[in-house]
Structure 1
């Protein structure tokens, strides 16, 4: 068999020589080789609102007070909510078996998908193994669901306040984000008229996050049915982020939205991270139905809500699930601060309490509190927040006087 040598000069001309015999090329004129690595268009469009705000906070905590972080949505960081031994043992047995060290099917092992389907299946929304796709955490489930539902140039409807990942993923894919409002005076229910007004011919899906991050709200059955009615009228599918599906307080009932739908197609995203206290294990799924258990952590929520409600200038919204509480800041009573970012920065500086400003969630003049810290830490944090607010609070008359002095 004849062999060939292919040579390219600097002008991209191709010369083919038989039998590997290369002619003498002498000096070849051409451009000087150089590195020309450029960031991709996708990377340029990728933007994380939380990082954009938090990374610019140039403040140090009060050195006289130990730091209390109420910002990170990871229930494992303080050690007061340990992973159940049964969960850990199951993973150990899987590792010891040696059966799962190779590549898995791209949609997950059939046996595992069958177990997930059986666990979530119910008469209102039956599931089989082929209805389950296993993913690397709920975040990837949301990413895959978006990639399936929307093309570049289309738009998706996203809650405000809402989890920042939706916007980050959508913009990186060239998908427009339209924000529909949640109503704090109605325990963060969706403004249904506003939601429906945003739908157009390019709307690919509505994201419904229930229970909510960052609001800690849980939608009633009747409210979910109204959401479905809007989706049905407009023929728009729903991407349901239900990662906190089991985490509702005793007085509330969680309704998986897929169990209430008769005609609206729904991709429900969930995972092990929050309910089983293992966010680092990165196990999630996409399915058309969801589980329903009660996670009993209402004591911290009640404690925090009661404590913050008593502080002048703050307006916490009672949560019903997930592990968050949103707190409104009556900015007119804190004239020293321009916005929620400055407010939370100064809170870190003076009191070493870190709460996420709700500007991270497209909802200014609120901040988010994580409720999974140990009770004694929550008591201390609320005490520090009260001290901070008492120091900076001004009543309306004082605020008016300050305005007149400008």
Structure 2
């Protein structure tokens, strides 16, 4: 009997506008490290402060987890969307900066911020003709997720000369009757910007006119250190329906705990009227819930208000930002149009014409990894060619060393260095 051909096959990876996915870029960079270089590798391509010993986790946070485990009260299954006490704790925690106060019914606990994003984009996928608006540059995961949900992706620009504000003029030209939502990231990843109250209100008003939902990724909400205080997009829920996404990971330096939240800001009941709330609840029936012992610890973690470690971490990032920004000014071929005011990243612009043997941002990152053991993410990974996304949340001494290596690398590859060599050869 002839065997039937196997019917299964792998699902193709969603295509993205990035020339090289982030995971592939990191693999390329790691494979180009010089194994004979005895200097420590400086990891400025990741977004995880917990890898650096200078960023500590609040001890009482760990104590709350231990207490929840030992209590034996949180060994059972969790109801859909999370236990009531932790949802109430998140509502109270986030309501501190909001005009319209939240209730536990507005809060859904998730397995980190990515899970929250996956929920709302899955809910919005609708027909294959639907599209969604993302910022450029932005967080690459959103594009992968949207395409896996068969949402067409369209990009609005962030303007570096205006502290990475949204290009408001482009929003209306991008949207059509099939546009379902737009995403903003505030404080910004990868730009380090913090949107003003006035700018967010304008975004909300345009979204209302377009009839679209605003999804605001606010995972870095407590990491701000500039002139603009953090303002949650949830303050504008009376203008346009808003969904905010957040997590414990960045403020409390516990990304591996995977506790996040999806919060609806819908005082006018628009999301409920259109069935979005029920769809969000329905999605959670198909996915796992946050471990109950972490949920059990959440009211204690959010309620203790012991922020001395959190403030210390923000101060380290502030100083790192200042050092990196000042250091870049003196380096040929690179510039930073806007000084970061939040998150843990800085976007650095490359002037490719200033280098004698650098083709583009990926080539730059491969060569500096090989020659200086410094890992930096090329801009193509976040949507901007010939830029660099640099992580500044590393040990201060490592950052100082990285700036020196970057300066040495750029000087060595500068066209000016070639002119000097030729002049020296001529006079000798």
- TM-score normalised by the chain length of structure 2: 0.81
Match of 2:23 in 1: 51
Mean CA deviation greater in 249-258 or 210-219: 249-258
Find the residue that maps to 1:240 and give its secondary structure.
strand
Q: 1:264 to 1:346 in 2, by over 3 A?
A: same
Match of 2:52 in 1: 78
Number of equivalent positions: 368
Distance 1:109 1:261 in 2: 25
Find the residue that maps to 1:120 and give its secondary structure.
helix
Residue of 99, 104, 108 corresponding to 1:129: 104
Q: 1:249 to 1:397 in 2, by over 3 A?
A: same
Are residues 1:358 and 2:379 paired? yes
Match of 1:263 in 2: 239
Match of 1:24 in 2: none
Regions of 4+ moved over 6 Å: 291-294
Match of 1:404 in 2: none
Find the residue that maps to 1:355 and give its secondary structure.
strand
Confirm or deny: 8 A CA contact 2:411 2:417 kept in the other structure: no
Distance 1:172 1:247 in 2: 31
Find the residue that maps to 1:388 and give its secondary structure.
helix
Confirm or deny: 8 A CA contact 1:333 1:396 kept in the other structure: no
Match of 1:25 in 2: none
Which one has the largest radius of gyration?
A: 1
Residues 39-60 of structure 1: per-residue CA shift (max 9 Å, x gap)? 23xx532768212333344412
Confirm or deny: 8 A CA contact 1:344 1:355 kept in the other structure: yes
1:36 shift after superposition: 3.5
Distance 1:79 1:397 in 2: 40
1:262 shift after superposition: 2.3
Match of 1:99 in 2: 73
Find the residue that maps to 1:356 and give its secondary structure.
strand
Match of 1:389 in 2: 410
Residues 346-373 of structure 1: per-residue CA shift (max 9 Å, x gap)? 0101100101001000101111111111
Residues 238-277 of structure 1: per-residue CA shift (max 9 Å, x gap)? 0101101111005331110111342200000000011110
Match of 2:325 in 1: 305
Residues 165-210 of structure 1: per-residue CA shift (max 9 Å, x gap)? 1101011111111011111111111111112210111111000111
**1:295-374 superposed matches below 5 A:** 295-296=314-315, 297-316=317-336, 317-374=338-395
Distance 2:85 2:52 in 1: 34
Distance 1:386 1:396 in 2: 12
Are residues 1:212 and 2:188 paired? yes
1:395 shift after superposition: 4.7
The unaligned stretches of length 5 or more in structure 1 are 1-29, 402-406
Find the residue that maps to 1:224 and give its secondary structure.
helix
1:396 shift after superposition: 12
Distance 2:383 2:28 in 1: 17
- Larger RCO (alpha carbons 8 Å, 6+ apart): 2
Mean CA deviation greater in 59-68 or 133-142: 59-68
> Which has a greater percent of helix?
2
1:124 shift after superposition: 1.0
Distance 1:56 1:85 in 2: 37
Distance 1:257 1:199 in 2: 20
Confirm or deny: 8 A CA contact 1:46 1:172 kept in the other structure: no
1:153 shift after superposition: 2.8
Confirm or deny: 8 A CA contact 1:207 1:238 kept in the other structure: yes
Distance 1:397 1:258 in 2: 54
Match of 1:60 in 2: 33
Match of 1:245 in 2: 221
Find the residue that maps to 1:244 and give its secondary structure.
coil
The two structures, once aligned, show a CA RMSD in angstroms of 2.3
Match of 1:13 in 2: none
Distance 2:24 2:176 in 1: 30
Residues 305-327 of structure 1: per-residue CA shift (max 9 Å, x gap)? 11112112111231010011110
Find the residue that maps to 1:337 and give its secondary structure.
coil
Confirm or deny: 8 A CA contact 1:76 1:82 kept in the other structure: yes
Match of 1:139 in 2: 114
Confirm or deny: 8 A CA contact 2:358 2:413 kept in the other structure: no
1:220 shift after superposition: 1.1
Match of 2:3 in 1: 32
Find the residue that maps to 1:251 and give its secondary structure.
coil
The unaligned stretches of length 5 or more in structure 2 are 266-301, 423-428
Find the residue that maps to 1:55 and give its secondary structure.
helix
Distance 1:195 1:210 in 2: 17
Confirm or deny: 8 A CA contact 2:25 2:377 kept in the other structure: no
